[in-house]
């Protein structure tokens, strides 16, 4: 099931980062070798009362003037409305309501999505009454916290997760493969989507019950059903480059959460950029299947080995998703688009693969025989038993004597052995360790 997305909106200096840091402290384990993503505090995985959600910070660069603040806040609200399931509107309880707050409130009032007004900087009881004025914003629930002192955070999280019940169970699986087409601006995502949907069989529809304002395209190709997820475009292009990039990352996060497979679209004429790495890293961290789609291949001058050389470069630049197949396409001419579809279907199957416990344990004992785990901290790792705990992505539980001596490189080795036997192409795989004496 996809994780809900909670977006924080609010003026500069109300305390968004402070809250974000407090909550991100609860961040569940994040793969360390993913470039870009972990360093960027644009989002955090939060868990509260066994409910997981993705928290995104819509705040971007620091604006210098009042009117820039206003326009940026409008864009923040817009993005939150488009991508989030729950919106946290943070205001400053010391300063009181400002005109910019009213402006944002006007926008948020139009959305069907739950909005929680969080009045920050209520550092002690004597300030508690400050929160009442914010009911004038007219968007419902108001709750007070002190992000700096860590007060009221639990109550706030209770409120946030209580909204999740509203859309649990909505995401019905119709057996279709859910695909997110992601990539940086101008990589050719819309062109590709148009090509896929342009066929007469395609039915473009707003799927009823989806909680996000997304336009999902349902397409049947060769008897297989695909749902192409498109988090409604932010059509108005911003002139500020960092803003465009931040928003495109936020959009990608929202689409990725709902997908089984991500088609990471790269512009062949530019090669892999830092932003591509970041976006591919998001798909990887979210545990989704990945196909690397090199688009605009029609614009590349080709010699005998061009494609191989290009592949090698991509393997270097995106080494953390070495499991992902690469396909070279042209959304413009349609070249190899059907091959891309085949790969997406293949990867979706791999992503959902279930491996029998017997076969898994055979492979692992054989792997251990061929190469013993290294001694760590004077102890030798023993792997007693393994089983696949879940799919999407395939997740394996290994019962071992000491969980604290599992070495990263040995995990890599096991992963490679498992892949050699079972394929699992295009999907990340995960290991969980349990101690058994």
Compute the distance between CA of residue 260 and CA of residue 258 in angstroms, rounded to an integer. 7
What letter would DSSP give residue 231?
Answer: B
8 A C-beta contact, residue 91 and residue 118: yes
Q: How many CB atoms lie within 10 A of CB 282?
A: 26
Residues of span 252-311 touching ligand GDP by CB under 6 A: 295-296, 298-299
Q: Is 15 in the site for ligand GDP (CB under 6 A)?
A: yes
Q: Is 44 in the site for ligand GDP (CB under 6 A)?
A: no
Helix (H) and strand (E) counts in the chain: 11, 18
Q: Tell me which stretch binds ligand GDP (CB under 6 A): 125-133, 144-152, 216-224, 254-262.
A: 144-152
Q: What angle do CA 59, 64, 70 make, to 5 degrees?
A: 60
Contact characters 198-237, ligand GDP, x per CB under 6 A = ----------------------------------------
Contact characters 318-357, ligand GDP, x per CB under 6 A = ------------xxx-------------------------
Considering the complex, state which of residue 183 and residue 394 has its C-beta at the smaller distance from ligand GDP: 183
Residues of span 107-136 touching ligand GDP by CB under 6 A: 120-121, 123
Of 79, 187, 259, 340, the one binding ligand GDP by CB under 6 A? 187
Element (H, E) at 431: strand 430-435
Compute the distance between CA of residue 219 and CA of residue 199 in angstroms, rounded to an integer. 9
Q: Which residues of 123-161 are buried (b: 16+ CB within 10 A; e: fewer)?
A: beeeeeebbeebeebebeebbbbbbeeebbbeebbebbb
Largest CA distance in the chain: 75
| Residue 199, both tokens | 């066929």
Q: How far is the CB of 35 from ligand GDP (least distance, A)?
A: 21
Q: How far is the CB of 377 from ligand GDP (least distance, A)?
A: 40
Q: Is 95 in the site for ligand GDP (CB under 6 A)?
A: no
Number of chain positions touching ligand GDP (CB under 6 A): 31
Answer yes or no: is 355 a known binding residue: no
Three-class SS of 345-370: HHHHHHHCCCCCHHHHHHHHHHHHHH
Q: Tell me which stretch binds ligand GDP (CB under 6 A): 8-16, 216-224, 365-373, 379-387.
A: 8-16
Considering the complex, state which of residue 12 and residue 423 has its C-beta at the smaller distance from ligand GDP: 12
Annotated binding site for GTP: 10-17, 57-61, 120-123, 183-190, 230-234, 295-298
Residues interacting with ligand GDP, by CB under 6 A? 10, 12-18, 59, 120-121, 123, 146-149, 183, 185-191, 295-296, 298-299, 330-332
């Amino acid at each position: 099931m996809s994780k809900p997305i909670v977006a924080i909106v609010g003026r500069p200096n109300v305390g968004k980062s402070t809250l974000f840091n407090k909550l991100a402290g609860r961040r569940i384990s994040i793969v360390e070798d993913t470039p870009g993503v972990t360093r960027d505090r644009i989002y955090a995985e939060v868990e509260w009362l066994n409910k997981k959600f993705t928290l995104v910070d819509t705040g971007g660069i620091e604006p210098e003037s009042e009117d820039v603040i206003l326009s940026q806040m409008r864009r923040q609200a817009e993005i939150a409305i488009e991508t989030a399931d729950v919106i946290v509107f943070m205001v400053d309880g010391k300063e009181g309501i400002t005109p910019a707050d009213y402006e944002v409130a006007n926008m948020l009032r139009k959305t069907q999505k739950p909005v929680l007004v969080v009045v920050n900087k209520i550092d002690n009881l004597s300030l508690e009454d400050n929160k009442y004025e914010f009911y004038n914003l007219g968007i419902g629930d108001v709750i007070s916290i002190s992000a700096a002192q860590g007060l009221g955070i639990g109550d706030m999280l209770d409120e946030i997760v209580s909204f999740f019940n509203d859309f649990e169970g909505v995401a019905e699986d119709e057996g279709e493969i859910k695909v997110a087409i992601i990539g940086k601006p101008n990589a050719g995502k819309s062109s590709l989507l148009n090509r896929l949907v342009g066929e007469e069989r395609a039915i473009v529809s707003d799927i009823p019950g989806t909680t996000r304002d997304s336009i999902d395209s349902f397409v049947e190709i060769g008897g297989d059903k695909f749902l192409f997820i498109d988090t409604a475009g932010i059509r108005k292009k911003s002139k500020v480059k960092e803003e465009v990039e931040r928003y495109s990352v936020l959009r990608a996060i929202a689409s990725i959460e709902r997908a089984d497979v991500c088609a990471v679209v790269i512009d062949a004429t530019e090669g892999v950029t830092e932003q591509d790495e970041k976006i591919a890293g998001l798909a990887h961290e979210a545990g989704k299947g990945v196909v690397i789609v090199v688009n605009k291949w029609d614009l590349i001058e080709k010699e005998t080995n061009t494609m191989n050389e290009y592949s090698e470069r991509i393997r270097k630049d995106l080494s953390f998703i070495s499991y992902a197949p690469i396909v070279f396409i042209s959304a413009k001419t349609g070249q190899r688009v059907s091959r891309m579809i085949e790969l997406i279907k293949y990867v979706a199957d791999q992503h959902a693969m279930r491996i029998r416990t017997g076969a898994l344990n055979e492979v692992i004992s054989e792997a251990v025989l061929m190469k013993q785990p290294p001694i760590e901290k004077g102890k030798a790792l023993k792997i007693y038993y393994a089983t696949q705990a879940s799919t999407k992505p395939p997740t394996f539980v290994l019962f071992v004597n000491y969980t604290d001596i599992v070495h990263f490189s040995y995990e890599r080795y096991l992963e490679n052995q498992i892949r050699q036997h079972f394929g699992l192409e295009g999907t990340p795989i995960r290991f969980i360790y349990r101690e058994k004496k």
